[in-house]
Chain A
Amino acid sequence: MIHARDLRKSFTDKAGHVVEAVRGIDIDVRRGEAFGFLGPNGAGKSSTMRMIAAVSPVSGGELRILGRDPAEHGPAIRSRLGVCPQEDTLDNELNVFDNLYIYGRYFGIPKREVRERAEELLEFVQLTDKRSAKVEGLSGGMKRRLTIARSLINRPEILLLDEPTTGLDPQARHILWDRLFRLKQQGVTLVITTHYMDEAEQLCDRLVVMDRGVIAAEGSPLELIRAHSTREVSELRFPVGDHEATAEKVADLGERVEVLPDRILVYSDDGEHVLEQVHDRGLRPIATLVRRSTLEDVFLRLTGRTLVD
């Protein structure tokens, strides 16, 4: 469905500096899968997504969407994509229903059919009772759901979602995840960017970890964790200022130790055992936690930085 080789994107900012947002990435997204881009702010996720959406010219490398070059077949490609951009582009001057209806008309869908689809989609994203409401008054989660409904108006084969849940409360996120999961079951290919590892773990069959415009790792969430982290992580919190010194004392307890500003992470296959040993050495952390490894740990391993800072 999507095929990229050495894909590049650079911008020239106002001062004339060239910003290389994407610096040569290779991806292949297959029909029906949920593919994720995980990475911190500025990693180049949105730039990649906009190229895939055939709205942003490619600066270098090769890109094929549905087998075609977006530079030449932009309109044809876009007619079969659904796009949910990072920043909502809902029209505040129109009401909820009209946002869907008018957007559908851009695709040349006949009026009657757009109306039917719009009603169905409002149902699907649970906004039927907001049908005639102004967009301005909607909550963040509702706006996001409306944007997703809008991106589905042309029954797309590929749905691009750029940070679909950033800024939403937990409940709104879960509603969204549920809807996206249903779409996937209906066979829609999903491409999602996020900087939340739990989201990537929940939704993606396969993902790439992006950092500074390049791909740092690739695989399913489980594969990535297996390849780049241990089974468990022990988090230790000590009084302010002691972390560096303390880290040396526990350095040999796990396969690896990371010192963060507020805590120390010890990577091992048995977290409880690490805690026991810490206590045996006379160290008294103010708080401890043992958990399973997540993609956050993979990212920390690969880049030395946390995802959300």
Chain B
Amino acid sequence: MSATAEPTLSRDDHRLSSWRGVVRQYDYHWTVYKRTWKSSIVSSFLSPLLYVLAMGVLLGGFVHVGAARLGGAPSYLAFIVPGLIAAQAMQTAVFETTYPVMGALKWHKSFWAQLASPLEARDLANAMLAFTLFRVGSTCGVYFLVMSPFGVFGTWWGPVAAWPATMLVGMTFATWTFAFSAFVEGPDSFGLIFRLGLIPLFLFSGSFFPISNLGPVLEWVARLTPLWHGVNLTRMLCLGHLDWPTAAINVAVLVVLLVAGWRTAVRSLTRRTAL
């Protein structure tokens, strides 16, 4: 049996560039988003505003302490809003990289379909993370816009600079959560992640009160969490009291975690899908 005139590959002989890998999935994510954006309004836009109203405005009316005890914020509302936006970035990012990833692997199996095309695991992870960036960016962007008339920001450029900071926080969580979701067998552990990860971070990373209220030991624990770095950075920018060395540390920690998280995410999905 001779292999007569074996056809060989000529066109498209190389791997896709990362950029093209993501762009080819644009239609997919856009089509899905057009169908689902309505149902994300409550969780993305309404819930955070309710927290601002309940905690910032109504409960905040009972807070009568000086700016010194509120990280330099003139009011409790001004203190809590940047914290809540940074926390919202984390939550949006985590939600977009838990059930959707499990769905793509196990329920609607879109990852497996995509892998039969020229796309690779790296491209799938990148596209999903790019979509998450879009969700975090739009959610936080709207949040900043809605809050701007209420005089909670120290300068006009504060929120403008804080916006990319919240995206940085969001993506740090998105990459690590993605890596975790691609690693675990089923969705059972998500409940635990929310309860033992998300909620404590949300409540104790300085969003609602200065972490110095936690006492010296727990204060240091809180400083070690990525969300605190995000909250601190966002708050400093929003209030316009920038402590440059602290801000540099905040940014550095988040960037290092983001890069490491992204590599882990790609490796995790590659391993999961190479059967």
Contacts and interface: CB of A to CB of B under 8 A. Distances in A.
A–B contact, 8 Å CB criterion (strictly below):
yes
Contacts of A101: 27
Of A11, A31, A102, A150, most buried by chain B (CB within 10 Å of CB) is A102
A76 B35 contact: no
Interface stretch (B7-15, B150-158, B202-210, B247-255): B7-15
A161 B105 CA distance: 21
Of A28, A91, A103, most buried by chain B (CB within 10 Å of CB) is A91
Contacts of B114: 106
A76 B24 contact: no
Contacts of B242: none
B39 interface: no
B116 A55 contact: yes
Nearest to A105: B27
Interface stretch (A82-90, A233-241, A251-259): A82-90
A55 B16 CA distance: 16
B108 interface: yes
Nearest to B116: A83
Chain B at the A interface: SS class: loop
A148 interface: no
Query: Chain A: interface residue count, which band?
Result: 35 or more
A56 B9 contact: no
A174 to B, nearest CB: 26
A94 interface: yes
B275 A157 contact: no
Nearest to A93: B108
B8 A90 contact: no
Contacts of B35: 93
Of B16, B114, B115, most buried by chain A (CB within 10 Å of CB) is B115
A205 interface: no
Contacts of B108: 91-93
Contact of B117 (A87, A106, A111): A106
B20 A108 contact: yes
Contact of A94 (B31, B117, B118): B31
Interface string B29-58: 001100100000000000000000000000
Contacts of B110: 89, 91
Contacts of A55: 115-116, 273
B120 A89 contact: no
Interface of B: 1, 3-9, 12-16, 20, 24-28, 31-32, 35, 107-110, 112-120, 273-275
5 contacts: A31-B5, A67-B7, A75-B14, A102-B28, A102-B31
Interface of A: 1, 3, 11, 28, 30-31, 50, 53, 55-57, 66-68, 73-81, 83, 85, 87, 89-94, 98, 101-103, 105-108, 111, 150-151, 154, 157
